Structure 1
Amino acid sequence: MFKNIKRAFLLIIVIAVLAASNGGCNLLKQPQSKQNSGQDQAGLLPGVGPDTVADVVSLASPAVVKISTRVTSRGSSDPLFSDPFFRQFFGLPSQPRQEEGMGSGFIISQDGYILTNEHVIDGASSISVTVTGFDRDLEAKVTGADYDLDLALLKIEPGRDLPFLNLGNSDQIRVGNWVIAIGNPYGLDHTVTTGVISAKGRPISVSDRKYENLLQTDASINPGNSGGPLLDLKGEVIGINTAISSQAQGIGFAIPTSTVRQVLEDLKNNVSKSRPWVGVQVRTVDNELARYLGLDRAEGAVIDGVIAGSPAEKAGLREWDVIVEFNGKKISNADELVAAIKNTQAGQTVNMSIIRKRQLSQLTLAVAEKPQNIR
């Protein structure tokens, strides 16, 4: 019996040695710690760690700034002084009025370049930036702006190196990845909200500005958040918070960094992208319009209006003309026409096919540069 016990004891020792040399039995193997794999897990799970979001915010917040603007307009805040009869009777001239605006931005280089939205600084006569660690606001100059993309690059002179954020790769972000928004909604500086990427490549229109490739998120974005960063869990910027849906909650939009990278050098060097312009207002031909115009099918972009002096007027385009081909590209709807125009260059001459009074006609049009006073 003693020999049996001795054999059993030796067998246990042998098994233990083998297990140690092979890394342990799979059934007993403990999971590896994920404490040091934050980057591998970033953007995938909310449970990267209890302090992951707090750590990202702590590192990123000093590079997020508040942007204050002043716009000079004519008139008075008192509605009586806006009445032309009142002004004429009392001989009062229209007085300049200072209007204030607010938004967000973030520093992208230690020497003080700041990214924000174009609509945050549009029309501003002066721009000041509140930077963490400075006891006064810093004056900012616009180095470049793109109305269509709604992007602007500012420059401040801080006198010392600044903390800054890195631009991440928005193409690699996935629907469902966690994101963090930091900004100044309603003037409440450095407000933090979290959420996920709800969708990618969203096209939306806000007023007369048409966005084509936005990130959609349910992280709360409010007035004043515009221009602030949308961060992944590595602390890299994957979008610029831009717009919210006025008809729903939990639907916000951000310009992806893939768009920013394409124009960043142009913004830094104040190089304006060509804005090709035709000078028409169009809408898609639907079934009702097709019947009214006597068309065989509901296809094309119908002209609602032609701007005086525009390339369209010079080419002979008229209201109710239906554009079915532009520069060799078939046009099925208004969006396709807008895209086709954007793919041309100012000064380029293109051929067009139109339907006018049920007859197919050909026109030649010289695309122009869009005037600054036309949005």
Structure 2
Amino acid sequence: MKEQTHKPALLLGFLLFVLTMFPAVGHGPVDYSELYEKVSKSVVDIHDAEGYGGGTGVIISPDGYILTNAHVIYDYRNDEVIESLVSLQDKREARAQIIGYDQHTDIALLKIEFDEDLPAVQIGNSDRLRVGNSVLAIGHPEYYDYSLSSGVVSYLDRFQQAPTYDALECTVPFIQTDAAINEGNSGGPLLNDSGELIGIISAASNYGDDAGLNFAVPINLAMEVEQELRESGKSRWGMLGVYLEHGYDGGLLVNKISEGSGAEAAGIEPGDVIVEYNYMEVGNLNDFPCLMAGKKVPVKVIREGQELDLTVTLGAIEDGGRVAALN
């Protein structure tokens, strides 16, 4: 009988020990004040000479290189570069040198000159993100400088076109977040809860039923573009080299192959039905992601009822070209 009376007490003691060793998580708001103090120094305001327009940017290297959105520094409707000034958190200003911009990902690379090293953000790895991860945004929404908002990763690889006039018709694997984003946040940093840069904010929907649908270019892709822009001032996007037709369930019919293209070298033939491109199912041109020239891409085709797995080395798109074209 004594053993039975001691068992509940022992069990209660064990439970109290477990609760002490492993406290409950999720109680109370997270304090991001120290992270904000550190990272906000890397965030800049971008505007024209009169102080209007523009958006946000983030310093990625101590020598003054800045990532922002292409639409912040380029007027696509009037086809002209916007002469821009960059303001630091301490109110110092410098004229922005535009190294290059890419409309297909909405990424631009700027440079500013100061006598000393500038506070650069730490670059993260967007491939490690998971839906539900905490994220932060710092920027200048509606001219409210250095505003902090927080949220979570709502979805990953949300493939869609960038909010620019994209002649390639290829898509970008955006990070979707519910962190509050408004006009003026464009080009600013999306950060993880360690303060690492994991995305460049690009687009927001703050009206009606679409409120809270906000998107950022993954930093891994943005840094690929940054390297191209730093080396040559422009991005070399990859071309598959095929002309396609709609009307086939589960894929696109190859009507014609461009001579000398990667598709020709890989053995793709007229009459093949492309069903996967870079491990993604394809049903229209918007299903082709933007990939750099020289990348080796797996392509699955159906030929005479048989599946074939091919590898295409993408050629470079010439001016006015596309990843793939409809006949």
Whole-Å separation in 2 of the counterparts to 1:368 and 1:167: 28
Whole-Å separation in 2 of the counterparts to 1:171 and 1:368: 25
Higher share in helix = 1
Counterpart of 1:371 (choices 308, 319, 322) is: 319
Whole-Å separation in 1 of the counterparts to 2:69 and 2:35: 23
Match of 1:262 in 2: 224
326-335 or 227-236: which moved more?
Answer: 326-335
Whole-Å separation in 2 of the counterparts to 1:369 and 1:172: 30
Against the structure 1 CA distance between its residues 99 and 177, is the aligned structure 2 distance closer, same or farther, given a 3 Å change threshold?
closer
Against the structure 1 CA distance between its residues 336 and 142, is the aligned structure 2 distance closer, same or farther, given a 3 Å change threshold?
closer
Residue 300 of structure 1 deviates from its aligned partner by: 3.0
Counterpart of 1:236 (choices 182, 196, 214) is: 196
Against the structure 1 CA distance between its residues 159 and 51, is the aligned structure 2 distance closer, same or farther, given a 3 Å change threshold?
farther
Contact 2:200 2:216 in 1 (8 A): yes
Matched, 1:272 2:234: yes
Against the structure 1 CA distance between its residues 160 and 278, is the aligned structure 2 distance closer, same or farther, given a 3 Å change threshold?
same
Say which SS state the counterpart of residue 120 (structure 1) adopts.
helix
Contact 1:143 1:269 in 2 (8 A): no
| Aligned partner letter, 1:57 | Y
Residue 127 of structure 1 deviates from its aligned partner by: 1.3
Residue 332 of structure 1 deviates from its aligned partner by: 5.9
Say which SS state the counterpart of residue 208 (structure 1) adopts.
coil
Residue 329 of structure 1 deviates from its aligned partner by: 8.3
Matched, 1:144 2:97: no
Residue 138 of structure 1 deviates from its aligned partner by: 1.0
Against the structure 1 CA distance between its residues 178 and 260, is the aligned structure 2 distance closer, same or farther, given a 3 Å change threshold?
same
Match of 2:182 in 1: 222
Match of 2:81 in 1: 124
The TM-score, its normalising length taken from structure 2, stands at 0.67
Say which SS state the counterpart of residue 269 (structure 1) adopts.
helix
Match of 2:121 in 1: 165
Contact 1:283 1:333 in 2 (8 A): no
**Residues 197-245 of structure 1: per-residue CA shift (max 9 Å, x gap):** 1000001233533542111000111111111011111111111111123
Match of 2:66 in 1: 114
**Residues 282-311 of structure 1: per-residue CA shift (max 9 Å, x gap):** 88438xxxxxxxxxx6853799xxxxxxx8
Residue 324 of structure 1 deviates from its aligned partner by: 5.8
Say which SS state the counterpart of residue 55 (structure 2) adopts.
strand
Whole-Å separation in 1 of the counterparts to 2:244 and 2:274: 17
Against the structure 1 CA distance between its residues 327 and 151, is the aligned structure 2 distance closer, same or farther, given a 3 Å change threshold?
same
Residue 126 of structure 1 deviates from its aligned partner by: 1.3
Match of 1:335 in 2: 285
Contact 2:106 2:164 in 1 (8 A): no
Match of 1:88 in 2: none
> Size of the alignment, in residue pairs?
271
Contact 2:103 2:165 in 1 (8 A): no
Whole-Å separation in 1 of the counterparts to 2:88 and 2:30: 25
Whole-Å separation in 2 of the counterparts to 1:332 and 1:173: 25
| Aligned partner letter, 2:236 | S
Against the structure 1 CA distance between its residues 282 and 218, is the aligned structure 2 distance closer, same or farther, given a 3 Å change threshold?
farther
What residue ranges of structure 1 are gaps of 5+ in the alignment? Answer: 1-24, 35-44, 71-97, 287-296, 304-310, 313-322, 346-366
Say which SS state the counterpart of residue 220 (structure 2) adopts.
helix
**Residues 57-84 of structure 1: per-residue CA shift (max 9 Å, x gap):** 12111111111136xxxxxxxxxxxxxx
**Residues 107-131 of structure 1: per-residue CA shift (max 9 Å, x gap):** 1122211111112112324110010
Counterpart of 1:196 (choices 145, 152, 157) is: 152
Counterpart of 1:285 (choices 234, 237, 247) is: 247
Whole-Å separation in 1 of the counterparts to 2:160 and 2:62: 34
Residue 151 of structure 1 deviates from its aligned partner by: 1.2
Higher share in strand = 2
Contact 1:285 1:298 in 2 (8 A): no
Against the structure 1 CA distance between its residues 177 and 68, is the aligned structure 2 distance closer, same or farther, given a 3 Å change threshold?
same
Match of 1:31 in 2: 20
Against the structure 1 CA distance between its residues 344 and 50, is the aligned structure 2 distance closer, same or farther, given a 3 Å change threshold?
closer
Q: CA RMSD in A?
A: 4.4
Against the structure 1 CA distance between its residues 167 and 368, is the aligned structure 2 distance closer, same or farther, given a 3 Å change threshold?
closer
**Residues 86-125 of structure 1: per-residue CA shift (max 9 Å, x gap):** xxxxxxxxxxxx9953110011122211111112112324
Whole-Å separation in 2 of the counterparts to 1:262 and 1:165: 17
Whole-Å separation in 1 of the counterparts to 2:284 and 2:194: 40
Whole-Å separation in 2 of the counterparts to 1:337 and 1:213: 11
Against the structure 1 CA distance between its residues 101 and 150, is the aligned structure 2 distance closer, same or farther, given a 3 Å change threshold?
same
